[in-house]
């Protein structure tokens, strides 16, 4: 495991998740959730965020993928919070605007101990493959709440929902990378968050 890494597990009656996150730089990205499009955008997030991510997740997707997608966000948020405890002070703010063909997405992050999600996306197609895009909000909400970050995620333009979701997750990766970069300075003018 990386110096700035964490492994988190979560088992409920609905899901079973094991996630290892490493923030020391590019590393292995191996994702298996049983939801191909979700795997695809999580891989994009990790690759463009330049962090290692290993994820094995299963759940009651025959009922609805909602539990699995939300719980992956929760576990990823727990992992970022655990990494922060190891790093100490980080740059705190991260921002990225990423185009992908017709799509343009913007993500801003504040590692501030005050969880909040602002999410805006009008997907022209409701699904990518079998994946219901309304679940992205549940993932982001779980991530923001458990990492205790302020997260603004906005699909500013797009004609193709696949491009929009992928550009959003690439921007998320870049913004998280910038926000969680170790810092020699403090994180707040108040002295503590």
| Residue 185 included in any domain | no
The β-bridge relationship of strands 131-132 and 127-128 is antiparallel
The number of domains in the chain is 1
Tokens of 60: 């009651």
Query: Where in 23-174 does DSSP place strands (E)?
Result: 29-32, 52-59, 93-100, 103-110, 116-120, 127-128, 131-132, 150-157
Residue 187 confidence (pLDDT)? 64
Contact assessment for residue 51 and residue 19, using Cβ atoms and an 8 Å cutoff: no
Rounded Cα distance between 22 and 24, Å, is: 6
pLDDT at 188: 59
Render each residue's pLDDT in the chain as its tens digit; 193 residues: 468 999 999 999 999 999 999 998 888 999 999 999 999 999 999 999 999 999 999 999 888 999 999 999 999 999 999 999 999 999 999 999 999 999 999 999 999 999 999 999 999 999 999 999 999 999 999 999 999 999 999 999 999 999 999 999 999 999 999 999 999 876 655 555 5
Q: Is residue 27 situated within a structural domain?
A: yes
Handedness of CA 129, 135, 140, 142 (dihedral sign): negative
Question: Would residue 132 count as lying in a domain?
Answer: yes
Give a yes or no: residue 187 inside a domain: no
Structural domain boundaries enclosing 129: 5-179
Task: Tell me, yes or no, whether 190 lies in a domain.
Answer: no
46 in any annotated domain: yes
Phi first, then psi, for residue 103 (nearest 5°) are -95, 150
Q: What is the DSSP string of 22-35?
A: E-SSS--EEEE-S-
Cα 180 to Cα 162: distance, rounded to the nearest angstrom: 27
Nearest-10 crossing angle of helices 135-147, 161-179: 10
**Backbone CA torsion sign across 2, 117, 67, 104:** negative
Phi, psi of 68 (to 5 degrees): -65, -45
For residue 30, tell me if it sits in a domain: yes
C-alpha count within 13 angstroms, C-beta hemisphere, residue 48:
22
Domain assignment present for residue 12? The answer is yes
pLDDT for 27 equals 85
**CATH, residue 46:** 3.30.230.40
Q: Is 133 helix (H, G, I), strand (E, B) or coil?
A: coil
Structure confidence at residue 63 (pLDDT): 87
pTM across the whole model: 0.94
């Amino acid at each position: 495991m990386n110096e700035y890494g964490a492994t988190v597990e979560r088992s409920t009656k609905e899901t079973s998740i094991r996630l290892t996150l490493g923030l020391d730089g590019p590393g292995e990205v191996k994702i298996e959730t049983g939801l191909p499009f979700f795997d695809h955008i999580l891989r994009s997030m990790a690759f463009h965020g330049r962090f290692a991510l290993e994820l094995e997740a299963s759940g009651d997707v025959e009922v609805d993928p909602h539990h699995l997608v939300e719980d992956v966000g929760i576990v990823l948020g727990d992992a970022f919070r655990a990494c922060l405890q190891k790093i100490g002070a980080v740059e705190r703010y991260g921002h990225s605007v990423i185009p992908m063909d017709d799509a343009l997405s913007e993500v801003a992050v504040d590692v501030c101990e005050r969880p909040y999600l602002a999410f805006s996306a009008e997907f022209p197609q409701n699904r990518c493959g079998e994946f219901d895009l309304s679940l992205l909000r549940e993932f982001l909400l779980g991530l923001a709440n458990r990492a205790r970050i302020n997260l603004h995620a906005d699909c500013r333009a797009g004609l193709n929902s696949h491009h929009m979701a992928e550009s959003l997750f690439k921007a998320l990766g870049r913004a998280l990378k910038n926000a969680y970069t170790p810092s020699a300075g403090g994180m707040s003018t108040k002295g503590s968050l």
